[in-house]
Structure 1
């Protein structure tokens, strides 16, 4: 079952759950809308990788919002965003651990001496796209380059 089919099925289940599925329903509708807008803008049908990228973008937006709401002391919005993130996590690919990212970066740096930060990031990102946060990858790349 593709991600789009999974989203549609889960949306139907959330509708049947009435009040209990309210948050899931609104998040899934928002994601389906973002997917549809991306398809219209790109004039193409998204595959699972494209749908995953849209979901990752939605998750990233919520993480940024969460940080802002925590700084502002808005506990009500923090709880809402956390609930939305829990719904989105079901559709995200399994995230790589820091050790797995370190291994990928180390393997790339080991084969090429004198690489700069940008070169390493360009080489690493295709391996971790959608499976790791760019900020975490960047921090690990800096750390490894400083030790070499």
Structure 2
């Protein structure tokens, strides 16, 4: 995802007077810019950074939904709307089958060792941001049996 896309969509939401959507996209842009400043690449924001921040924000909003009291329906609706908007921009993560295929193709020699710690250490840099950590862990556990 390009940061320019987010900025154009925020402007479109402002013109359409969709305050909640604009606020959700604006918070995403702010988080991306903050992460870019922290990493020292404020002038050249890479797509990988944007995707990573979007996934992090998505996880944060999901936690807000899960921890929101049931009697606060107004907050819950706001969190769910924000989750839906952020989810539109989230990159598609690899499925368990796709992760398994990648592991078998690229990491067959490491898988042969059967050392789960070593496998995870080798595999995670390759799949970070492309697949959910839980899915990777489950696939590795299955392949190590």
Q: TM-score by structure 1 length? A: 0.80
Moved over 4 A (4+): none
Structure 2 distance, partners of 1:86, 1:42, is: 28
Q: Does the 8 Å contact 1:3/1:91 carry over to 2?
A: no
Q: Does the 8 Å contact 1:52/1:93 carry over to 2?
A: yes
Other-structure match for 1:73: 70
Q: Does 1:29 align with 2:30?
A: no
Q: Give the total of aligned pairs.
A: 141
Match of 2:82 among 60, 73, 84: 84
Match of 2:98 among 82, 97, 100: 100
Other-structure match for 2:46: 47
Structure 2 distance, partners of 1:74, 1:121, is: 41
Q: 81-90 vs 52-61, which deviates more?
A: 81-90
Q: Structure 1 regions of 5+ residues with no counterpart?
A: none
Q: Structure 2 regions of 5+ residues with no counterpart?
A: none
Q: Does the 8 Å contact 2:94/2:132 carry over to 1?
A: no
Structure 2 distance, partners of 1:105, 1:78, is: 39
Structure 2 distance, partners of 1:81, 1:125, is: 30
Q: Does 1:134 align with 2:133?
A: yes
Other-structure match for 1:125: 124
